[in-house]
Structure 1
Amino acid sequence: MRRLPAEVIPRIPVPVRRIARNAIWAAGRATARWRPLPDFVVIGAQKAGTTALYAYLRWHPGVTGPSWKEVSFFDRHWWRGEAWYRGQFPLRSGQRLVGEASPSYLFHPLAPGRARSLVPDAKLVALVRDPVDRAYSHYQHEVALGREPLSFEDALAAEAERTRGEVERLVADPRAFSHAWWDHTYAARGRYADQLESWLEVFPREQLLVVPSEELGERPAETYAAVLAFLGAEPHSLPEYPRVFEREYEPMRPETRAALAATFAEPNRRLEQLLGRNLGWS
């Protein structure tokens, strides 16, 4: 089975990663004028299959982009400027489509306007996952990284207080970074309709494709084909469609699942109205 870049990178020691990253950034800036801006951007959502989808796209012979996911220019690196962003992409190579994937773009309050100002013609792909499952997967990810000491129920209860004022701080200072906003927004990131509407305020509807991650998992070949058609890439199939980061952990408490499902019932209805389809989330 092919290994995904996201599976390999964490195995590299942090000091080595930093040296490599800084070398890549320096070389990219120096040659930025010969590097393209992206034709497409996978904008999220976090823990919804962006790692797998971006790997599938990078394995297409007519698609290129950074060999790593999460350039994160339109959220945390905007202040570095266009030359830095161009420097993340390969030197021009024929007629291949160029793209990147940064799953926090969907959620960041300033990302839509920033993207519109620099890549107004880019096609956007957003993956959405049942927000109950997405929230629990996000929580388990933070626990595995040692960034979440609370139980899932306590973390949900603490989310509003933990993140109070953080959006305002991000909006006020382009260089600001909020660990609370990045790490602990378990419920907030699942309110997809609000986020998609922010993107649709500045991008035409025909430039945005919304893909339920359940479809990517259950019918990867068909979903991959649909994404390629949307991007204008030649049809292509892969010998396999590996999953990524499938961790085993204790199931969510039934009462917690029921409470979250009730919390997301209205946001999910709004999303289904926006998309004009039933997503089948309970």
Structure 2
Amino acid sequence: MYEQVKVMSSHIHYSPLPTNESDISNIHKFAFPKISRLKIVGVTFVILLSVVLVVISCFNKGYCSNKSVCNPESEGNRSDRGQYGKGEHIKFHHMKRRLPQCIIIGARKAGTRALLTYLNIHPGIVVKGEEMHFFDDEDYYYDSLESYRKQMPYSYPDQITIEKTPAYFTEEEVPERIYRMNKTIKLLLIFRDPVERTISDYVQIAEGKKSKNKYVASFEDHVLDSKGNINRSYRAVKSSIYHKHLSRWLEFFSLNQIYIIESKDLVENPSVVMYDVEDFLQIEHEIKPSNFYFNKTKGFYCVKTDTLQKCLADSKGRQHPHVQRSVISKLRRFFAPHNRKLYKMVGTDFHWAEE
């Protein structure tokens, strides 16, 4: 016969199992005491709360090893207007929109998009892909600095926010406006052979007109005046007289705050240039030679990381039109004295050809 075990004092007594219903009911009360529903709910709540607190703790510590996840705007190197903004409203703990600590100020058609794309590889940098034009747009500028800040991507406290607007370099009022925002800001500036830059500037404008079925005059018609001399009022020419524009920036910023890059160096040795830029920004060296590969079809370097393989848009590296040799010679003679003034101003000879 089965037996029931009862513990009384320190002795064990054996008794026969009950044979009637009343005795069986008493056993249930003894063997399986009731647990109140309130206690069950309380224990469950404590467990769930503990799990939630653990998750929150992880985010408080800033755990996020994937830059493209932590900051969706920095994912990839999107070159089309507006694409950098995908997901920019997603943020994590400790992230917020900050005013830029560095700005790529120009020069136009010298490689600013490539520079921004390469900087975006660095985990300590977040970039605004869209050109802001805050400091050169009267209406936008007088709106408020806060409206400008709100357009920046989310970043962590130890990350550098960078925007680029090449038009800043040539606009007279911009240096002082940026100085008022942050007198210690760091600036990145790219110079390109002025003859090549002038032609490239023309090509971009011409392509835009063609896409709208508008008439496009030849480069020679733009760059030469009625007497056959260089048209000094042509905007593409004026933008290439670098020393005049740089002199305005040096009224507010020292050369130590402006890192100058020669476009050819960025095209031919991007990893070397980026190493020096990292030094200028005082950040760890994270951009490696392995992050670049040469695309023979496009004729320039593209970006490669563990999660990304990206080239600049097809609009970059456009084929230049044939320009008369005599016009090229006139341009080189025109720019030669201006180039020498720039070399003296920055203490570097870029060895741009003279004729």
TM-score by length of 2: 0.63
Q: Larger Rg: 1 or 2?
A: 2
Aligned-pair distance for 1:197?
Answer: 1.1
Query: Which residue of structure 1 lines up, in the alignment, with residue 134 of structure 2?
Result: 73
Higher relative contact order (CA 8 A, sep 6+): 1
Report the aligned-residue RMSD: 2.9
Instruction: Name the one with the larger strand percent.
Output: 2
How many Å separate the matches in 1 of 2:127 and 2:277? 16
Query: Which residue of structure 1 lines up, in the alignment, with residue 341 of structure 2?
Result: 270
Query: Which residue of structure 1 lines up, in the alignment, with residue 121 of structure 2?
Result: 59
Instruction: Name the one with the larger helix percent.
Output: 1
Secondary structure at 1:105 match in 2? helix
How many Å separate the matches in 1 of 2:202 and 2:276? 30
Aligned-pair distance for 1:218?
Answer: 1.3
**Residues 70-79 or 194-203, more deviating:** 70-79
How many Å separate the matches in 2 of 1:270 and 1:78? 32
Deviations 1:34-64 (A, max 9, x none): 5211111110000000000011111210001
Contact 1:37 1:119 (C-alpha < 8 Å) held by counterparts: no
Deviations 1:217-275 (A, max 9, x none): 11111011111110112102242142640112433221111010011011100011111
How many Å separate the matches in 2 of 1:262 and 1:72? 33
How many Å separate the matches in 2 of 1:163 and 1:250? 21
How many Å separate the matches in 2 of 1:186 and 1:75? 17
How many Å separate the matches in 2 of 1:120 and 1:275? 20
Q: Find 1:207's aligned residue among 228, 250, 257.
A: 257
Contact 2:121 2:287 (C-alpha < 8 Å) held by counterparts: no
How many Å separate the matches in 1 of 2:76 and 2:202? 24
How many Å separate the matches in 1 of 2:161 and 2:168? 17
Deviations 1:84-105 (A, max 9, x none): 1101212341311111111011
Secondary structure at 2:224 match in 1? helix
Please, which runs of 5 or more residues in structure 2 have no aligned partner?
1-74, 91-95, 293-300, 303-310
Secondary structure at 1:261 match in 2? helix
- In structure 2, relative to structure 1, the CA distance for the partners of 1:38 and 1:148 (3 Å cut) is farther
Percentage identity across paired residues of the two chains: 28
How many Å separate the matches in 1 of 2:248 and 2:127? 26
Query: Which residue of structure 2 lines up, in the alignment, with residue 96 of structure 1?
Result: 159
Secondary structure at 2:187 match in 1? strand
Confirm or deny that 1:185 pairs with 2:252.
no
**Residues 198-207 or 249-258, more deviating:** 249-258
Instruction: Give the letter for the 1:64 counterpart.
Output: V
Secondary structure at 1:99 match in 2? strand
How many Å separate the matches in 2 of 1:163 and 1:73? 27
Q: Find 1:85's aligned residue among 148, 153, 156.
A: 148
Aligned-pair distance for 1:280?
Answer: 1.1
How many Å separate the matches in 1 of 2:169 and 2:215? 23
How many Å separate the matches in 2 of 1:250 and 1:35? 43
